[in-house]
Amino acid sequence: MENIFEVQMLLDVKVPMKDGVNLSTDIYLPKTNEKLPTVLMRTPYSNNTDEMISKAKSLAKNGYACVMQDCRGRWDSEGVFYPFIDDGEDGFITQEWIGKQPWSNGKIGMSGSSYLGSVQWASAPYKSKYLTTMAPRVICCDFYNGLIYPGGALQLNVALSWGMRSNSRTGQNIDFHNWTEVFYNLPLIKMDEKAGRNLTFWKDWVEHPNYDEYWEQINVEKQWSEIEVPAFNMGGWFDLYSKETFTNYNGLKHNGKNESSKKSKLIIGPWPHALSTSTKTGDIDFGPDSMIDLDSIELRWFDYWLKGINNGIIDEAPIDIFVMGINKWRSENEWPLKRTKYQNWNLHSNGDANSIMGNGTLSKEKHTKEKPDIFNYDPRFPVQTVGGATCCSPHIVPWGPYDQRVVESRNDVLCYTSNILQDDLEVTGPIKLILYASTNVTNTDWTAKLVDVFENGYAMNLCDGILRASHRNNMSNPEEVIPDKVYKYEIDIGVTSNVFKKGHKIRLEVSSSNFPKFDRNPNTGKQFGTDTDLKTATQVIHHNDEYPSHLILPII
């Protein structure tokens, strides 16, 4: 649509909440007498940034009222900021306020990424009659499993660095902290203080290491059946919410309250948390086709739902994925793909899979009587995070694909590598590892990573996961392990879409740490968050006919 409207601004309009707190709201209106559809963006990062103002003016020029609001306790809004707690009701009240304004036509769409996506999901179950659609980017709905404790392990880097940036009324510069020193500080419960802040929500997160009522109250996954509007989900393969992008899409499509909510869409590219800002993510340039104008796609979505323009977007396939390796876009109708053939790729070795210099292999051949692999996990010297699906400070922990050979040179990283592929092999879908393992301590961690090994040896990480041994059965009631007893662990390694090219190899890394993406398990079994002791664990990975450890790959 042509940009035809001049724009007027109404700044710092106070919108009252239920408890009397006033939220600062900037409104951008096209100069017209017509009643307008509204795009609402609620942010803890200031509604007065260049990026926000630019988007607001662009939408207003295209005939939308654009409402940009500071979340409570942030910037010019009153109240106290505490992540995720007040966003549902505050968003609902704001929607009701917008719907009654003289310039409103009664239709509201919500936009924004990360926290700006979470506020969309939080408000939707309140069912304002004015909320018509959403476009959440890079976010989860279950903050325990999706953000703070995936696999039962604390997602340390993002929880602390984001918390440090966001704890006060305005943004905090954390770029000059010695993060290496900060992350090694113990106990965890006081790590915020070591970094120079006293964060109430950090301490609450550390004091709730299991899924309980604290997390239940902010889990929108339990409320999908109450949501009546569709969502256009946007994500990246190297975003920490890559898996959750699909979880949210499927959750609403299969459980939404009406037919509109089931008309949701999804797009995912080879992007990090910032999405489509460059053709290059990490080390890899995914080519010119990898960059997409997501704002233009979002505008088509809003034009259909808020203006009633029959532009065909609703008739297109609901899912668009970028297939890495061949670097091409492809439209799909469901996730996981119906045509998926799940293959078991078994772990093998002669008992010495330690590092890429070892003899670990990965193949579809069945297990026989094989020696287990053994390594020592010393939390004083954890395996370092090198890229991956991380957030939100790439100068602290880089995001995206990087050469993993520095990681794979360690003796405490087991490497299982396939033979050279004779043909292209597409892997698209959720990745899972079934691991049979024992340890000589009462609690420890297991990590796994899927890697594409190029012909020149370059080892490109695709996705990774972790499972805290105590949380192997569920996330609410942890159970210690009996030392030296073999347990079956199902490790969620995430999602990907990648063609392993002819001449490449498939590699699986197995270890017990991925730091500082995740906290170090001290291996002591003591109360979480209070421990200052560290204990070395002896880890045994079994792969034989009795304990058939295997990687499950979704083959297309």
- Euclidean distance between the first and final Cα of the chain, in Å? 38
Which stretches of the chain score pLDDT less than 70? 1-3
Cis peptide leading into residue 187 (ω within 30°): yes
Sort 22 into a burial class: Cβ within 10 Å, 0-12 / 13-18 / 19+.
Answer: middle
Nearest one of 146, 151, 325 to 243, comparing CA atoms: 146
Angstrom distance (rounded) from CA 432 to CA 345? 11
Determine the longest span between alpha carbons in the chain, in angstroms: 79
Which domains does the chain show, CATH number per domain?
1-137 (3.40.50.1820), 146-206 (no CATH), 341-555 (2.60.120.260)
Contacts of 201 (CB under 8 A, 6+ apart): 82, 83, 163, 167
Of these residues, 104, 114, 264, 549, which one is catalytic? 114
At how many degrees (to 10) do helices 50-61 and 294-307 cross? 50
CB of 24 closer than 8 Å to CB of 77: yes
Angstrom distance (rounded) from CA 550 to CA 186? 35
Beta bridge pairs of residue 376: 538
Single-letter amino acid code for the residue at 123? S
Beta bridge pairs of residue 474: none
Tell me, yes or no, if 261 is annotated catalytic. Answer: no
- Looking at residue 400, what DSSP letter applies? B
CA atoms within a 13 Å half-sphere pointing along the CA-CB vector of 61: 10
Angstrom distance (rounded) from CA 156 to CA 161? 8
CB of 419 closer than 8 Å to CB of 505: yes
Of these residues, 70, 86, 239, 492, which one is catalytic? 239
Angstrom distance (rounded) from CA 556 to CA 338? 9
Angstrom distance (rounded) from CA 247 to CA 146? 10
Tell me, yes or no, if 177 is annotated catalytic. Answer: no
Angstrom distance (rounded) from CA 104 to CA 27? 12
Cis peptide leading into residue 37 (ω within 30°): no
pLDDT in tens, 281-297: 999 999 999 999 999 99
- Looking at residue 145, what DSSP letter applies? I
**pTM (whole model) above 0.95:** yes
CA atoms within a 13 Å half-sphere pointing along the CA-CB vector of 128: 28
Given this model, what pLDDT does residue 395 score?
79
Tell me, yes or no, if 273 is annotated catalytic. Answer: yes
CA distances from 422 to 119, 353, 546 (A): 48, 23, 30
Given this model, what pLDDT does residue 1 score?
43
Beta bridge pairs of residue 342: 554
Angstrom distance (rounded) from CA 182 to CA 456? 37
Angstrom distance (rounded) from CA 512 to CA 514? 7
Of these residues, 273, 471, 542, 543, which one is catalytic? 273
Q: What percent of the chain has pLDDT over 70?
A: 99
Cis peptide leading into residue 382 (ω within 30°): no
Given this model, what pLDDT does residue 368 score?
87
Contacts of 74 (CB under 8 A, 6+ apart): 43, 44, 45, 46, 81, 166, 169, 170
pLDDT in tens, 393-432: 777 889 999 999 999 999 999 999 999 999 999 999 999 9
